[in-house]
Amino acid sequence: MRIPSLWRNLSLGLAAASFAFAGAVFAQQPVSTQGMQSAQGWDLVGATVRLDHALSTKNARQGQMVEAKLNSSVRTPDGVDLPKGTELVGRVDHVRASENGGPSALSLVFTKAEMKDGHTIPVKVTVVGAYPSDEASLAVNGDQTMGSAPRHVNPQTRVDQEAGLLNHVSMHSAVASHNSARFEKKDGDFTLKAGTYLQVGIAPRNQNVMNQGA
């Protein structure tokens, strides 16, 4: 299966080591933690989710709820099972609407997982890939097919997905960041449609505490 090579490695050191997966290049070198949380100890498992509702920079508001549903069941490295259909719940952390055709941006942060049985756990989520909601849009924008999510996401990972794949919207993320992802467009507003695919790394938030105390 051919995968789009539209993500760039964010080079942050002289001895940067990197690997490619699903068309992305993930930086493995240490990253600056200025304005970020410590990423040490996170062990994120890969998964794919789909947005429940559309989000637009025209009318989204800071604090607005965001939900995305797991496409398949996953088990975190510490044994927490997240069944298919589990909802990742979060909020819009920042939004900037376009003015006079200028740039726009929207940041999301997912904070908890709600399972069908009503059980809820706090989670750390980092988006490592974003794809259109349907194959036709994917073909128009990338002329390629979406790959599988990575099995695991390195704690030092940073991703910069260029604007050619997701309806001219770029995506930026880092495990060390407070946000799950930041989406940007250089000229005008944009909408993340309902059903937009997000490939993510996910871990229970208490995992970091356990790992650092081990």
**What's the average model confidence in pLDDT over 119-128?**
96
Of the chain, the percentage scoring pLDDT greater than 90 comes to 59
Q: What is the pLDDT of residue 8?
A: 37
**What's the average model confidence in pLDDT over 186-209?**
88
Q: What is the pLDDT of residue 134?
A: 80
CB half-sphere exposure, 44, CA atoms < 13 A: 28
**What's the average model confidence in pLDDT over 44-49?**
95
Closest CA to 23 of 161, 152, 141: 161
**Window from 5-19, 84-98, 99-113, 143-157 with minimum mean pLDDT:** 5-19
The answer to whether residues 103 and 185 touch, using CB atoms and an 8 Å cutoff, is: yes
Q: Is the pLDDT of residue 201 over 70?
A: yes
**What's the average model confidence in pLDDT over 22-50?**
58
Of the chain, the percentage scoring pLDDT greater than 70 comes to 72
Residue 144's pLDDT band (cuts 50, 70, 90)? low
Question: How many C-beta neighbours within 10 Å does residue 183 have?
Answer: 25
Pure H helices in 53-171: 135-141
Residue 78's pLDDT band (cuts 50, 70, 90)? confident
**What's the average model confidence in pLDDT over 9-14?**
31
